[in-house]
Amino acid sequence: MELNILLRLFENVVIVALISLFIGQLNYFRLLIYARDDWKRTVILSAIFGFLSILGTEHGVLIDDALANTRIVGAVVGGLVGGPVVGVISGIIGGIHRYTIGGFTAEACAISTVFCGLLGGVTGIKYDMLKMKWQNIVMLGLTAEMIQKILVLLIAKPFTAALALELKIAVPTTIITILGVMIFTRIFRSIKLLQDQSGAMAANLALSIASRTLPHLRTGLNETSAKQTAEIIHEIANVDAVVITDCDKTLSIAGVRNDSGLDGKAIYSQVTEAVLKQNDIRLLSLDKELAHFHRSFPFKSAVGAKLVRNSKPVGTLQIYYKNSFKGTQTYLNLVDGLAKLLSVQIELAEIEEQTKMRQQAELNALQAQIKPHFLFNTLSTIMSYCRTNPELARNLLGNLSDIFRRNLNNKNNFNSLKEELDGIKSYLEIEKVRFANRLQVIMEIDESLLNIQLPVLTLQPIIENSIHHGLFPKMNNCLLSINVCKKGNHVQIRVEDNGIGIHENRLAEILNHQTKGIGFSNIHRRLQSIYGKEYGLHIKSEPGAGTIVTFEIPMTGLKEDVI
């Protein structure tokens, strides 16, 4: 008899497990299981597991005006998957159904189903179902059966009939309950594995797309970058159509002709509005949810996600499908992950643009800082020589004119080394006069490097600092050396003076960009921004002995290579 009950109950578990396995393949159900907890998820999961509990009752074995069944398995697993609330509601659904069938154990079975659902929920909080050991699962099934049997013995009347029933079915029902919980746990672990594999596929796809779109989104979100990005997504993701919008209009469409008519524009606009209103990814059945949907429109469903910048929406990414719904878990994860990656790229583009604007502002400030300095000091010197040495005054005016002409005409970010040195020579001719022959300049330049391109205002601020802060305070024997030579695959530029030097504390401030001035700091950051973090200024100084400023640029550092 016990063997017959065992086989009948096993058949019951197999039927319910097959139904669960089928439901588990549904994309909507997989999303629901591992979605954030809310009332909608609770209601739907409670209904599903309550239904499984009812199936366990309906396929039970009638024994002495009672039912041996697998009812509590649905409630226990409902609690494991959905939490205590889902477990209790599933138990209530299964319990009420069992109570309506009747029998002397009806009340006890109804109550025990609720308690078993609660047990599953509490266990789910304590243990991660995906990591539960088989010993824990066995103990859960055994405990659930013990709760049911104790309540039957306490509540069902007459007690002798309840005891006789439990002695008859105790072994098969306990075995089947434990086996059922183990089977269901395995099923939901497989569902989670499928979701994880889907997420991994989507992540790889999203990263592949992001690596291709990165160069295009450097300019931010606009019609040009959106068009290139949409085409890349359409090509790699193999979806029916891709639409990228800002918050007001459609920027680009890939996979469908742009002349899809007013109906198409209205639909894209409605989808954009629907996506922007929702925090998470949005799934839409276009023919059911959109007011202006027309049958001639080639797509029946869409998945959309917001593009954000600084936590504020700036647009949407929309994927369209010709089927009523083709939104598999992989594509849902793809759209979600891709929207986040594109949002990061858009933010990085803004940061990069702000960095360029700040550096340009500093460069402009540096130019403005140098011009008045030359003007005021040089004009004073020229005025002093107008009567005593007119020829020298004319030469100084020519040099001053040459410096300002170069600054005014220079609209590029780079100059050749020759252009930089020509401007510096004019500057040094003026400073030699102001130093009253105290300044000696030595230039050692490899002429094969004269066409190498340098960022503008790289050398002049360094030389100006050497003269005004290092050499000018000295009374005599002021020596400035400028050396440009090859060093492997690099060009090394070295400016050395024998001035008063820089104090150790002051040197640390300069190297850590803690000074108020923008000269050295601007040059250092620009060199690193253009050539890489391993480049920049290197400053060595010893108080009373002088200062050496050195930097290198790669031999490939020509203008066309670095812009």
Q: How far apart are CA 453 and CA 410, in angstroms?
A: 14
Return per-residue pLDDT of the chain as tens, 563 residues. Answer: 566 666 666 777 777 677 766 666 666 666 666 666 678 888 988 998 999 899 888 887 788 777 778 888 889 988 988 889 999 999 999 999 999 998 899 999 999 999 999 999 999 888 877 778 888 889 999 999 999 999 999 998 899 888 988 888 888 888 888 888 888 888 877 776 666 666 566 666 666 777 777 677 767 788 888 888 888 888 887 788 889 898 888 888 888 764 444 456 788 888 888 888 887 777 777 777 776 666 677 788 888 888 888 778 888 988 888 876 555 566 677 787 778 878 887 777 766 665 665 565 555 555 545 556 657 777 777 787 787 788 878 887 887 777 767 666 655 678 888 988 888 888 888 888 877 778 889 999 999 999 888 887 788 888 888 888 888 888 788 899 999 999 888 999 999 999 888 887 777 677 565 554 556 777 887 788 788 888 888 989 888 889 999 999 988 644 333 33
Inside any domain, residue 383: no
Domain membership flag for residue 427 = no
Does residue 186 share a domain with residue 73?
Answer: yes
In a domain, 389, yes or no: no
pTM metric for this prediction: 0.46
**Residue 379 counted as domain residue:** no
Residues 192 and 225 in one domain: no
Instruction: Give the pLDDT of residue 492.
Output: 94
Which helix (DSSP H) or strand (DSSP E) does residue 190 occupy? helix 159-213
CA gap 266, 116 in Å, rounded:
52
Count of domains in the chain? 3
The SS3 assignment for 557 reads coil
Place of tokens 């008899």: 1
Q: Do 279 and 352 fall into the same domain?
A: yes
pLDDT at 557: 47
Q: Give the span between the Cα atoms of 351 and 315, in whole angstroms.
A: 18
Please give the Cα distance from 148 to 105 (Å, whole number): 10
Would you call 280 exposed, middle or buried from its count of C-beta atoms within 10 A (0-12, 13-18, 19+)? exposed
Q: pLDDT value at position 464?
A: 83
Angle at 24 between CA 46 and CA 75, to 5 degrees: 30
Residues 356 and 444 in one domain: no
Q: For the sheet containing 241-246, what is the strand order?
A: 250-254, 241-246, 312-321, 301-309, 282-285
At which of 365, 386, 414 does a domain end?
A: 365
Burial of 384 (0-12, 13-18, 19+ CB in 10 A): middle
3-state secondary structure of 479: strand
**Tokens 């890349």 belong to residue:** 232
Interatomic CA distance for residues 363 and 323, integer angstroms = 56
Q: Answer whether residue 213 is part of any domain.
A: no
Q: Kindly state whether residues 38 and 136 are assigned to the same domain.
A: yes
Q: Identify residue 519 by its one-letter amino acid code.
A: G
Nearest to 148 by CA among 185, 181, 177: 177
Contact assessment for residue 102 and residue 39, using Cβ atoms and an 8 Å cutoff: no
What three-state secondary structure class fits 553?
strand
Same domain, yes or no: 227 and 189: no
The residues, any chain, with a CB within 8 Å of residue 76's CB and separated by 6 or more, are 87, 116, 117, 119, 120, 140, 141, 144, 177, 181
pLDDT given at position 5: 67
Kindly state whether residues 88 and 190 are assigned to the same domain.
yes
At residue 139, the pLDDT reads 92
For every residue of 276-324, which 3-state class applies, written as one string?
Answer: HHCCCCEEEEHHHHCCCCCCCCCCCEEEEEEEEECCEEEEEEEEEECCC
Taking alpha carbons only, the member of 221, 224, 258 closest to residue 241 is 258
CATH number at residue 157: 1.10.1760.20
From its phi and psi, is residue 430 left (phi > 0), alpha (psi between -120 and 50) or beta?
Answer: alpha
Per the document, the length of the chain is 563
Q: Is residue 562 part of a domain?
A: no
How far, in Å, CA of 298 to CA of 294, rounded? 9
- Same domain assignment for residues 270 and 359: yes
Given a contact cutoff of 8 angstroms between Cβ atoms, the answer to whether 180 and 148 are in contact is no
Which range of residues forms the domain containing residue 460? 437-554
Residues 174 and 260 in one domain: no
Is the domain of 159 the same as that of 60? yes
pLDDT at 262: 47
Tokens standing for residue 210: 């992001």
Percent of the chain as helix, strand, coil, to the nearest 5: 65, 15, 20
Measured distance CA(372)–CA(379) in Å, rounded? 10
Structure token pair of residue 200: 């991994």
Assess if residue 58 is contained within a domain: yes
**What pLDDT score was predicted for residue 519?**
65
Determine the 3-state secondary structure of 64 from DSSP. Answer: coil
Q: What is the CATH number of the domain that holds 516?
A: 3.30.565.10
What's the pLDDT score for residue 511? 59
Beta strand 453-455 pairing with 439-445: unpaired
Structure tokens belonging to residue 362:
């500093």
Alpha carbon distance 200, 268 (integer Å):
29
